[in-house]
Amino acid sequence: MEEILKNLPEKAKDKHKENKKFFAKLRKKTPKHLDAQMKDMHEEEFARTNCLECANCCKTTGPLFTNKDIERISKHFKLKPFQFIETYLRVDEDNDFVLQTVPCAFLGADNYCSIYEVRPKACREYPHTDRKDIHKIGNLTIENTFICPAAFNIVEEMKKRIKI
């Protein structure tokens, strides 16, 4: 996995133009059964991928925290939401709550998430490759090919399977 992660940014950069073109096409000519196709590709990829060997998303980016996330996680720590925010979060340029530092403070040395049961929605859904209407999040998905080896493979598979 170390080698895969080391080479990923370069590989994603090589595919960047092609991926941009593909997602632009996908937006214009969205196949009828895209969501079902994505579900299959996502499940197949994550059956092969062990996130515990990777954790690159937790190490390099971290999620957005919604108000609901903040309430739930504060409660878990028996903190007031403002105390949780003061300790762990900052507001980014888009006015969203994000982690103060990466790797995420809740990531263990064994790559386990110490707040797994109450983790942010964005962590549960990352890399969003099984969400509805993936053609509407082309830029985000392309960005994720630089961070997530599974997202990279899924986009490669999309280009093979989706005939547009």
Contacts with ligand SF4 by CB under 6 A lie at 49, 51, 54-58, 62-63, 104, 106-107, 113, 115, 119-120, 123, 126-127, 147-150
Q: Using CB atoms within 10 A of its CB, is residue 48 exposed (0-12), middle (13-18) or buried (19+)? A: exposed
Shortest distance (Å) from residue 98 CB to ligand SF4: 10
Shortest distance (Å) from residue 113 CB to ligand SF4: 3
Which of 31, 103 has the CB closer to ligand SF4?
103
Shortest distance (Å) from residue 59 CB to ligand SF4: 8
Which of 1, 91 has the CB closer to ligand SF4?
1
Whole-angstrom distance, CA of residue 66 vs CA of residue 14: 34
Which of 32, 110 has the CB closer to ligand SF4?
110
Shortest distance (Å) from residue 42 CB to ligand SF4: 11
Residue with tokens 């961070």: 147
Question: Count of alpha carbons within 13 Å of 12, Cβ hemisphere only?
Answer: 22
CA quadruple 29, 31, 32, 36: dihedral, nearest 10: -150
Q: What are the b/e assignments for 80-93, b being 16+ CB within 10 Å?
A: eeeebbeebbeeee
Which of 85, 164 has the CB closer to ligand SF4?
85
